[in-house]
Structure formats: structure tokens, C-alpha cells
Structure 1
Amino acid sequence: MRAPKLNTLMLIIVANHVIITSPVVSTNRVLLAIGLAGASLYSSRILDYYWSPEDLGLLTFIIVLLLLPAKQNICDPGWKYFRGHCYIRVEGLFNQPTAQAACNAEGAYLTEITDAEENQFILENILNTVSCSNIYDCTTWIGGNDKATNGVYIWETSGLPVTYTNWIPGNPNNEVIKDCMDIFYTGLWNDRPCTRQEGYICEKNL
């Protein structure tokens, strides 16, 4: 029995999606490769399908592509990739509005940390070179604030509420002058006056 014609476009879209979202050889890519190989073997051995040389060639190409090491950083030099976004920490002394404007000038924004996995990535890959004897002396701006309503934090660029948090114990203490958010090199968060001078983390969508 001749096998149904492969939906070439569908396979390419699926493979491309996995490659882009998994920039190194990952479990997702390996599983997809195994699944494609298994499906072709099952159909030929169990269902007695006959695959044309063209379809088998395409299938083999996609499987090999999935298993090849991919480019590990698809961001601009100095930026680091995570889940379809690029991140960079800029050293220096900047107040929060200046930091946000500087990110915007790069087509980016002060980072908006939406879950523990993203926070851990920033801790291990963006803040890994930061240290000081007093953690309050080397904090870094992130993109949240409660400027509109004291104690109600939103992400400034997206306007979304801050649902995941990783505050250092005792913070935020909701003092009126502490409207902005920064992050310690330990990955914990802190509330700060927006006029404080420190470095910042930009995030850019791909």
C-alpha cells in the first residue's frame, strides 16, 4: 500500500518551531526526531505502507536536522537567549526612568519576570558576575513598579499585574517613595525609590 503523501509544510513548521524554541539539542528535539522515525517505521512495517524516495529523503533530512547541534545564542552579541527572549545586564549608575528609556532605545524593556524558571535563568546567566559585600549595594533594575497604586505592582511595559514574585523577606514594605523594583544578585527582589542609581536588565522579544 502506498503511504499517504507527507504534509511537507506541516513537518517543516513543526521542526522549525522546536528548533527555534530549543536552541540547543534538547529533550523536545530528540523526542520529535524519535517520533518521526518511529512513525515511519510503524507505517512501513505494521501498516505495510510504501514510502516514496522523496518522502523518505525529507523525513531523514528533518530527523538529522533535529539532532544536529543548533546555534546556542541567537541573540545579538552580549545578549543571552531564553524562551524566545534576549537579555542583557548593563553595568553603571542609572535611575529607573533612564534605565527604561535606555532599554527602549535598544528595542527592549526592563525585564518582566513572570515565573520562577525565568528568575532562575536571570540569576544563573545575567546576575552571575555580580557580587558585593552588602547585597543592597549592587542591585539591578527590573521592570515592575507600583507608581499608580501603592502596593499594587504591575510590569511597566506590558501593563500586566505582577503575579509571580520573589521578594526578599520583609519587602515590599510599601513605603510611598519606593515605587520601583530591583533584583539582588541572589535572585531576590526589592522595592526602591525610582531615583536610585544602579545597573539594569533589558529584555527583548525575538
Structure 2
Amino acid sequence: MYGSFKSVVKHQTAVFETQCSGTGCAFNGCESSGSETCDGHMFTKLSKIQLSINDIWKRKPGAIVCKEGWKRYNGHGYHLFSKKMNWFQAQVFCRNQKTTLLQINDANEHNWLTKNFPIVAYWIDFTDIGTEGKWVTLSTGKSEYTRWHGGQPDNSGGKQNCAYNNYGKGSWDDISCKTTYQVLCEASDTL
């Protein structure tokens, strides 16, 4: 017997196998005769399937067609705007472009950015405004990758709550959100 588990996020369907006999059912190898242990295993497996589906959709080559002057990498489009603005203005500016302020997700993306954009300081979507010392992206509330310069973040003067990418150092630094830097917006097929 086959059943389906509907993905909540993307409304896609994953297939799993269920086999039942007179003593109970097995879900992809987990036997259940009404035990809570197996129900927990089933929930864990369903959760893993959901995470796998989400990961696949995130990695799926997107239909993002970069505008003229934008650069494409790994299903995302990037553009560095020369106008300087504070971190809050940068967030709004990128949203008005139907993009987000740059989110650097791994070392490969960081290295690609270093090779493909000028050596200038620009804002990234990383802040600890909500909880001092807990750095997350404003867009997702997550923190999956960091590239802080040695001794950073230091919250110097107690007012450094936003991060910028400082390629003079090749890493990130925290600074007042009121400082003005250039803006790098990122278009994503997962937005």
C-alpha cells in the first residue's frame, strides 16, 4: 500500500511505503502495533522527508532571469548598487527591487562574491538587533554561515548591531546600522 505525505511548504508530494498485516503496520521499515515509539519514528521520518524536499527545492535551478547588469550564481542574481545608504534603507531598497539584502550562505558563495564584485564595503542581511549577540538574517531569522573578522563582532560602544562585508579585510565586521555603505541585493528563486 502506498500513501503520500504532502509538503506543507511547496505543496509537493513525496511517496512512502506502508505495509500492514494482522499484527500491525510498517512504515518504510518501522513496525507499528500501536506503539508510541514507532509513531515517533514515523514522525521523525516524515520530518526528514519534509526537510529533504525543502532542501531539493532550495537547490533546484531557479527561473530567475537576471536583469541587465546583474550577475548570476547558483540560482541567485546579484547586483551591487553604488548609492550609499544605512542598513535599514538598504533593506527597504532591496525589498523595493523585489529582492533581499545580500545573505551569504556559505564559503563558496563568499569566495564567488569576492571574485565577482569590486573590493568595497557593503551591507549584508545580518543583525543582532533582536537579541544582543544573536546574529541572524532579518529575512529568515536564521544564521547558517558567518565570516567574522578576528575579534568581531565586538559591539564597540554598545551600538554595533548590523554587519557589513569588508573586503579590505576579506571578512565581516559589525557596525552601527546608521553608517552608510553600498548595497548588494540578491534575487532568489526561493523568495
Query: Aligning the two structures, in what range does the TM-score lie when normalised by the shorter sequence?
Result: 0.5 to 0.7
- Counterpart residue number, 2:179: 196
Structure 2 unaligned blocks of 5 or more: 1-59
Q: Which has the higher strand share?
A: 2
2:124 is aligned, of 137, 142, 156, to 142
Instruction: Answer with 76-85 or 181-190: which moved more.
Output: 181-190
Query: What displacement does 1:147 show?
Result: 0.2
- Counterpart residue number, 2:70: 79
Distance (whole Å) between structure 1 residues aligned to residue 79 and residue 95 of structure 2:
13
Counterpart check, 1:121 vs 2:112: yes
Letter in 2 for 1:125: N
Structure having the higher Rg: 1
Secondary structure at the counterpart of residue 147 of structure 1: coil
Structure 1 unaligned blocks of 5 or more: 1-19, 23-72, 131-137
Distance (whole Å) between structure 1 residues aligned to residue 124 and residue 185 of structure 2:
8
Distance (whole Å) between structure 1 residues aligned to residue 140 and residue 151 of structure 2:
27
- Counterpart residue number, 1:151: 133
Query: What displacement does 1:184 show?
Result: 1.1
Contact 2:121 2:181 survives alignment (8 Å): yes
- Counterpart residue number, 1:169: 150
Q: Which has the higher helix share?
A: 1
Identity among equivalent pairs (%): 29
CA RMSD of aligned residues (A): 2.2
Distance (whole Å) between structure 2 residues aligned to residue 101 and residue 169 of structure 1:
30
- Counterpart residue number, 1:48: none
Question: 1:37-89: per-residue Cα shift (whole Å, max 9, x none)?
Answer: xxxxxxxxxxxxxxxxxxxxxxxxxxxxxxxxxxxx94111111111111111
User: How many equivalent residue pairs?
Assistant: 129
Q: Which runs of 4+ in 1 moved over 2 A?
A: none
Secondary structure at the counterpart of residue 155 of structure 1: coil
Query: What displacement does 1:121 show?
Result: 1.2
TM-score, normalization: structure 2? 0.62
Contact 2:123 2:184 survives alignment (8 Å): yes
- Counterpart residue number, 2:44: none
Counterpart check, 1:185 vs 2:176: no
Query: What displacement does 1:170 show?
Result: 1.2
